[in-house]
């Protein structure tokens, strides 16, 4: 799999992927940053192999995770176009308007995931996942002794199964919450989760969990 963006979420998702035995390529507009993260992960995590790359390696990227701030993921998908054929694109972003921290930066009636899917070449499935898991919690994969829930939305069942397998092999609990339009609620809910951090004294170490 390939992760585009070598920041906090790339570190967390790559940790889970490597533990699950997946090979990981890291792409960032700073090759040095991708190389440094790959070096850290090689020291800290045993399992699959990790290496930096200068481009999305389409030939072996069964999954491409966009670990990028909104709207960079939409731009990357538009730029790569049909080169992403054969890959499942995973959008993890929370398109919060950070200028005000008072609203989402996508209009009502859509979501960042749907906007990204609209840019994707025909036949390239886009899946929303990992937007409700904070980066720091992905390092251990657990909060309060319980595995993190990874809420997954998408319109392609096989693509969702691939992302669920990635989460499950990394020790997480995948939950398919429906079609890609459910990304609207996932993004809005995580905005609430983010906005409540200070008020509730959570320090970005909380998790969203659905219990039966
Ligand atoms: N942090 C969390 O706990 C968390 C939780 C759930 C979801 N998310 C979502 O996950 C996404 C990533 O968050 P993050 O915290 O990992 O951000 P981050 O630490 O800032 O990492 C993003 C990385 O992507 C790079 N980048 C930006 N545009 C790029 C492009 N076009 N091509 C290649 N690399 C590019 C950035 O480089 P520069 O810094 O040089 O621009 C940076 O290295 C965001 O959409 C966020 O909403 C975050």
Per-residue pLDDT at 6: 98
What is the Å distance from ligand 1's center to 55 Cα? 16
* Segments making up each domain of the chain, as ranges: 2-200
| Residue nearest to ligand 1 atom 19, measured at CA | 7
Residue 118, token pair as written in the block: 């609209």
Position in ligand 1 atom list of the atom nearest CA 112: 45
93 C-alpha to center of ligand 1: Å?
A: 8
Closest CA to 121 of 88, 64, 65, 81: 81
User: pTM for the full model?
Assistant: 0.98
Nearest-atom number in ligand 1 for the CA of 134 is 3
List all residues 6 or more positions away from 50 whose beta carbon is below 8 Å from its beta carbon: 14, 18, 23, 24, 25, 26, 38, 41, 42
The alpha carbon of 164 is separated from its chain's Cα centroid by a whole number of angstroms, namely 12
48-72 residue pLDDT tens = 899 999 887 666 689 999 999 999 9
Query: Using one digit for the tens of pLDDT, what is the confidence trace for 76-100?
Result: 999 999 999 999 999 999 999 999 9
| Percent of the chain's residues with pLDDT above 70 | 98
3-class DSSP state of 104: strand
Helices and strands: H and E segment counts in the chain: 8, 10
Annotation: CATH topology of 2-200: Rossmann fold (3.40.50)
When pLDDT is cut at 50, 70 and 90, the band that residue 210 belongs to is very high
Residue 135's SS3 state is: helix
Which residues contact ligand 1 via a Cβ below 6 A?
A: 4-10, 28-30, 33, 67-70, 72, 76, 92-94, 131, 134-135
The pLDDT tens digits for 24-42 are 999 999 999 999 999 999 9
Give residue 173 CA to ligand 1 midpoint distance, Å.
23
Residue with the nearest Cα to atom 26 of ligand 1? 5
Confidence at residue 68, expressed as pLDDT on a 0 to 100 scale: 98
């Amino acid at each position: 799999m390939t992760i585009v963006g070598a920041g906090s979420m790339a570190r967390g998702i790559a940790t889970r992927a490597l533990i699950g035995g997946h090979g990981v390529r890291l792409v960032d507009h700073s090759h040095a940053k991708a190389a440094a993260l790959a070096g850290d992960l090689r020291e800290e995590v045993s399992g699959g192999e990790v290496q930096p790359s200068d481009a999305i390696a389409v030939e072996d990227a069964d999954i491409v995770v966009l670990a990028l701030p909104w709207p960079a993921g939409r731009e990357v998908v538009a730029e790569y176009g049909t080169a992403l054929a054969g890959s499942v694109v995973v959008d993890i972003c929370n398109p919060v308007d950070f200028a005000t921290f008072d609203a989402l930066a996508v209009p009502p009636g859509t979501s960042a995931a749907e906007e990204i899917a609209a840019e994707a070449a025909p036949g390239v499935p886009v899946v929303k996942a990992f937007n409700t898991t904070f980066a720091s919690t992905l390092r251990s994969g657990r909060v309060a002794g319980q595995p993190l829930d990874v809420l997954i939305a998408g319109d392609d069942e096989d693509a969702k199964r691939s992302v669920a397998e990635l989460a499950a092999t990394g020790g997480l609990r995948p939950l398919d919450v429906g079609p890609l339009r459910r990304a609207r609620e996932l993004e809005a809910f995580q905005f609430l989760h983010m906005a409540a951090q200070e008020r509730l004294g959570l320090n970005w170490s909380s998790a969203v969990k659905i219990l039966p």
